[in-house]
């Protein structure tokens, strides 16, 4: 076989491999959308518009703005952006509180015994049940919603940080001690990195919790946000608009998770490598 033929063959097999992996990854999703489109058209129900109609309506709702604003419509700034900021704000607050508190509790046996049952009790409170309380305490503005999101999503971060910092390999701590690392260095250079995989797992769970809590909080006493839009559309019988909001939420959750995984890959590359190695050997 000539070199060109070999090259062609290699390129073809490479393309086939890429196609195969694409089908494996996204095939099911595409099939579901096609089936949905077909079934919705066939049924013709106003409650279940086909995806193509939802997509078209979504473009009108959010991408009909002036070119100077990247075609983003007012609704993006009135609803989508506030929702996004609430999610990120509440989640960031949860991280900022959960990680330091978790390290403190995880590294102190007595403190952990002292607070454990209380934490388990508080954690059992469903976040949405506190909305009435938070409305009384904090009003109906974003502060209330961000606080609710933070309260509801702090638990996975806090508990994972406690668990992660408590279960650091004693040999790593012995090593740090044998080489006379000062206390802060043991915490910063050994305990925290060792706990990071668990902390990140907690952060990821709490990110999706934050999205859920954002929507729930916007269903109550609200005047803006994606959750508010969905409910408003339902009351006004704008069912396609309602579906647009739901699809947008799914897209938002998916994107946030994807971005977080990219971030995790950068920070915890060593963990995947080390774990892969142990599994392989």
Which position among 29, 42, 117, 179 is part of the footprint of other proteins (CB under 8 A)?
A: 179
Do 61 and 244 meet the contact criterion of CB atoms below 8 Å apart? yes
Is residue 273 near other proteins by the rule CB under 8 A? yes
Is 171 a binding residue for other proteins by CB under 8 A? The answer is: yes
Give the CA angle between residues 256, 251, 57 to the nearest 5°: 150
Nearest residue (CB) to other proteins, 262 versus 277: 277
Contact indicator for 115, 178 with CB cutoff of 8 Å? no
Residues 191-220 that bind other proteins (CB under 8 A): 193-194, 196
Please tell me whether residue 278 binds other proteins under the rule CB under 8 A: yes
- Looking at the Cβ atoms of 17 and 182, the one nearer to other proteins is 182
Q: How many residues bind other proteins (CB under 8 A)?
A: 23
**Piece of the chain touching other proteins by CB under 8 A; list 2-10, 73-81, 184-192, 237-245:** 184-192
Please select the residue that binds other proteins; options are 74, 113, 169, 265, rule is CB under 8 A.
169
Which residue carries 């994972």 as its tokens?
Answer: 160
Q: How far is the CB of 108 from other proteins (least distance, A)?
A: 20
Q: How far is the CB of 24 from other proteins (least distance, A)?
A: 29
Comparing C-alpha atoms, which of 31, 27, 7 is closest to residue 19?
A: 27
Helix/strand/coil percentages in the chain, nearest 5: 85, 0, 15
Q: Which is nearer to other proteins, 46 or 171 (CB)?
A: 171
Q: What DSSP state is assigned to residue 139?
A: T
Give residues 102-131 in contact with other proteins (rule: CB under 8 A).
none
Nearest Cα neighbor of 203 from 95, 124, 110 is: 95
Interface residue with other proteins, options 177, 223, 234, 255 (CB under 8 A): 177
Based on the shown chain and the rule CB under 8 A, indicate whether residue 181 belongs to the binding site for other proteins. Answer: yes
- Using the rule CB under 8 A, which residue among 76, 95, 154, 190 binds other proteins? 190
Binding string to other proteins for residues 36 to 65, with x set by CB under 8 A, is what?
A: ------------------------------
Q: Which of 11, 182, 261, 263 binds other proteins (CB under 8 A)?
A: 182
**Helical axes 239-267 vs 51-62, angle rounded to 10°:** 80
SS3 of 181, please? coil
Q: Environment class of residue 65 by beta-carbon count within 10 Å: exposed (0-12), middle (13-18) or buried (19+)?
A: middle
Q: To 10 degrees, what angle do helices 192-218 and 81-106 make? A: 140
Q: Which two tokens stand for residue 198?
A: 């668990």
Burial of 88 (0-12, 13-18, 19+ CB in 10 A): middle
Q: What distance in Å separates the CA atoms of residue 260 and residue 136, rounded to the nearest whole number? A: 34
**Cβ proximity to other proteins, 69 vs 189, nearer residue:** 189
Q: Is 175 in the site for other proteins (CB under 8 A)?
A: yes
185 binds other proteins (CB under 8 A): yes
Binding site for other proteins (CB under 8 A): 169, 171-172, 174-175, 177-182, 185, 189-190, 193-194, 196, 270-271, 273-274, 277-278
């Amino acid at each position: 076989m000539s070199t060109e033929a070999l090259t062609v063959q290699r390129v073809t097999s490479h393309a086939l491999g890429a196609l195969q992996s694409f089908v494996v990854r996204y095939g099911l999703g595409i099939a579901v959308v096609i089936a949905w489109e077909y079934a919705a058209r066939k049924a013709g129900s106003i409650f279940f518009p086909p995806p193509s109609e939802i997509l078209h309506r979504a473009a009108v709702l959010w991408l009909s703005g002036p070119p100077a604003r990247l075609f983003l419509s007012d609704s993006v700034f009135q609803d989508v952006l506030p929702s996004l900021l609430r999610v990120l704000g509440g989640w960031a607050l949860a991280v900022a509180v959960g990680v330091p508190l978790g390290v403190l509790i995880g590294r102190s046996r007595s403190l952990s015994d002292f607070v454990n049952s209380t934490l388990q009790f508080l954690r059992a409170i469903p976040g949405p049940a506190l909305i009435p309380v938070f409305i009384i305490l904090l009003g109906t503005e974003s502060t209330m919603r961000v606080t609710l999101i933070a309260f509801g999503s702090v638990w996975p971060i806090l508990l994972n940080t406690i668990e992660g910092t408590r279960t650091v390999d004693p040999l790593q701590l012995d090593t740090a001690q044998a080489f006379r690392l000062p206390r802060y260095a043991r915490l910063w250079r050994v305990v925290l990195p060792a706990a990071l995989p668990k902390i990140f797992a907690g952060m990821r769970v709490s990110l999706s919790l934050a999205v859920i809590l954002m929507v729930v909080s916007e269903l109550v006493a609200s005047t803006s946000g994606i959750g508010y839009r969905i409910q408003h559309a339902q009351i006004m019988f704008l069912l396609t608009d309602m579906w647009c909001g739901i699809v947008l939420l799914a897209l938002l959750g998916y994107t946030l998770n994807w971005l977080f995984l990219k971030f995790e890959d950068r920070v915890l590359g060593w963990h995947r490598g080390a774990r892969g190695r142990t599994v392989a050997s």
